[in-house]
Chain A
Amino acid sequence: MMQDGGMNRLRASALIRHEVGLHARPSVKLTKLAKAFESKIDLGLSPDGPWVDAKSIVKVMATKAPKDSTLYFRAEGSDAEAALDALVTLVNEDFPDGP
């Protein structure tokens, strides 16, 4: 995780291993998790964007991220660090079924 420019804007990335990429089920999990945080969270397929709202399933699915692509996150807000930790863990653990 690294600090980026302004106050409390953090970045992180994770490699997606899911069999068919960021498909419906993982996208639902990812956006649900992102929505649990107050911070503004963006997702991109390159370190320079373009960025989409990680809380929007419409936008996240539309990235059509294939398997073995790296997901980049940036977050800005009071719980940005926790949000990035949680999202990176979700992707790294291949979107396990939550409790």
Chain B
Amino acid sequence: MDHRARRTTRRIEGWPAAPGVASGPLMRLAAAAAVARKGGSTAGERQALADALDASRLDLAALVGEMKNEEAQAILSFQIALLEDENLAAPAFALIADGEAADRAWIAGIDPEIAGYEQAVDPYFRARASDLRDLRDRVLRHLAGEVDQAVPAGVIVLADDMPPSVFLATDWRDGGLVLRRGSPSSHVAILARSRGVPMMVGGDVEGLEAGVDAVLDGDAGALIVDPDPVLRAEYDQRLAEKSQARQALASFDGPVLTASGEPVRLMINVTGLAELRDIDPSKVDGIGLMRTEFLFHGRESLPTEDEQYQIYRQMAEWAAGKPVTIRTLDAGGDKPVAGLTQAGEINPFLGVRGVRLSLERLDVFRLQLRALARAAVIGHLKVMIPMVTVPEELDRCRALFRDAVEELRGEGIEAAMPPLGMMVEVPAAALAIEDFDADFFSIGSNDLIQYVMAASRDEPQLADLARPSRAIFHLIGHVVRHADRCGREASLCGDLAGDPSQVAALLDQGLRSLSVAPGALAPVRAAIARYPGRPA
């Protein structure tokens, strides 16, 4: 079968590991060849390994000199320190003394070390296995006399896993990275986020041909192979907007105002701490949506209360008194979490997801509420519940939250009850919004659109249906008017808010609070500044 002849658009789903969009031909990166080396004398093999270790150390030392990024330097310094430690190669040299060839001895010596990290309970230490594999392969390449496989700029790289040193030696201008293995907490993912290289992990990329055109959507965690012209144009526009935004953001300052002088609150959507590093908190009005799913992805054990607390606390500290809106775990639907979400649902978007899952898995939910209650002591934390459909769900969450606060105080731990709001994304909730006892409302336009229009946003044939319509704006206006009447905040945190061409229509409905991806800040800000005011 000739794939090229058909040219049908294919979408491969994975986990988002670093945001952004990249477009270009696919390139496959092979792992270091495991070809058996012909063994020489014991002395010769000992020398060969010693030389390969030396050469690897020199490679890394040269690389670290080129790096200006602190994160990158730390990762390479760690690998150099490992190489300089004679304990690393001691088992290999012992095997060589027993007559083993250098490459086999090296693999046999270091693999137990790698396995030790792979079995670690803590995801941080588990991710270090990739650093050791990186070292193993670099030394093997030297033993085999290979040179590094060069990656040209502007390609989307497919690989099983990528060693941090290879990542750092690559020119990523306009490129992107798709890994079959790896996790969002691996070193390489941290590097990709800090360098702005779009990346996804967990995509089934086996069988994809090199050279085929593709678009990597690092925000959604999807690879689109052979995109049709419509999709292609859509992503080209996103690429252009992102590069404009990067240039424009630095020049903005002061409050966000419409042309008529009305203030609008403009906040950001984030998935973790890494994205905050490059954002100046004085240029935004806080975090309008923190997606906690990211903390649960790509790991075998669920995050502990303390791990979650540390992240929420650091977000509150970053925001320095501005609101930080944290959404409780929204797993299920298109966001499965191993060991948590229910497998085999016929229609996961209409299944046990969001708050429905949290109320089923109270063990997991209570831990998250405890972590949030502790972090609420530190800053201006707000908590919102996803997929609320009937008022009783929110009431149960509030009761559970109160229990968590009391329980913590009983243990002598400081805790506070933050404002508790709801995502408005199920039509039933939007229509009967008056019935909900929420401290604030945040409209989730992505799910609201697909539930109101009965059209999946992932189905290319329905792209014309899965768009904001008069019905959507009518519902948004209904929610905003209710919030205004009872003096509570309503905001919108879906992709709709980040689309500059929709901003005027949202402001027309009375919305004065939007939360967008950091890359959309500048264009949305500009669209707000053009807004002349609501038509009479």
Contacts and interface: CB of A to CB of B under 8 A. Distances in A.
Interface in B61-100: 74-75, 77-78, 81-82, 84-85, 87-88
A23 B124 contact: yes
Interface string B110-140: 0001001000101011001001000000000
A36 B466 CA distance: 64
A21 B122 CA distance: 10
A24 B310 contact: no
Contacts of B87: 53, 56, 58-59
Given A31-B81, A58-B85, A64-B120, A25 B74 contact: yes
A61 interface: yes
A15 interface: no
Given A24-B128, A31-B81, A64-B122, A19 B310 contact: yes
Interface of B is mostly: helix
Given A19-B310, A58-B88, A59-B87, A28 B113 contact: no
A52 B310 CA distance: 29
B122 A61 contact: no
A20 interface: yes
A45 interface: no
Size range of the chain B interface in the assembly: 20 to 34
Contacts of A61: 82, 125, 128
Interface in A55-84: 56-59, 61-62, 64, 66-67
B78 A28 contact: yes
Interface residues of A, number: 20
A27 B82 CA distance: 10
A58 B122 contact: no
A31 B77 CA distance: 12
Interface in A1-47: 19-21, 23-25, 27-28, 31-32
B105 to A, nearest CB: 16
A59 B88 CA distance: 9
Nearest to B89: A58
A4 to B, nearest CB: 25
A83 B89 CA distance: 27
B85 A56 contact: yes
A24 B74 contact: yes
B125 A58 contact: no
Contacts of A53: 87
B327 to A, nearest CB: 23
B74 A66 contact: no
A64 B126 CA distance: 10
Contacts of B81: 27-28, 31-32, 57
Contacts of A57: 78, 81-82, 84-85
Interface string B185-224: 0000000000000000000000000000000000000000
* Across the A-B interface, the 6 shortest Cβ-Cβ residue pairs: A24-B78, A58-B87, A57-B81, A20-B124, A64-B125, A56-B87
12 contacts: A21-B125, A24-B131, A25-B74, A28-B74, A31-B81, A32-B81, A53-B87, A57-B84, A58-B85, A62-B113, A62-B116, A66-B122
Given A19-B310, A25-B77, A28-B77, 5 more contacts: A20-B124, A56-B85, A58-B87, A64-B120, A64-B122
